[in-house]
Amino acid sequence: MTAEEVAAFVAEVRSKVDAALSKLDTVDVAALEPSLREHYDRVRRGWEALRRMTEDDLVALHLKACERAGRELTPDEIRALLGLIPPQ
């Protein structure tokens, strides 16, 4: 990925993460059953962890994934790894 592709990808991911977190903010967690509350907490922590990722983290993830795959992964494949789109 070029530097421009990385920057665009990070901006896209952050936008999706912010949208997901905003949607989660609308949930009344206190009204959830305990099992749903646990699920909510796991989902929220996942989105928050993704939000904390830096461009350097993304580059490191991309390099590791490409190394493991034995080839350069496409941006869509990276999105799938991050759970932003279903794998194809």
In a domain, 86, yes or no: no
Residue 88 covered by a domain: no
* 13 found inside a domain: yes
Residue 48 lies in a domain: yes
The confidence score (pLDDT) of residue 87 equals 45
Question: Domain count of the chain?
Answer: 1
Is residue 87 included in any domain, yes or no? no
Looking at residue 85, its pLDDT comes to 59
Domain span holding position 14: 3-81
**pLDDT in the model for residue 57:** 83
Residue 52 makes CB contacts below 8 A (sequence gap 6+) with none
pLDDT tens, position by position, 32-85: 999 999 999 999 999 998 888 887 887 787 788 889 889 988 877 877 777 765
| Residue 24 C-beta-side C-alpha neighbours within 13 Å | 18
Q: Is residue 10 included in any domain, yes or no? A: yes
What is the pTM for the complete model shown?
A: 0.69
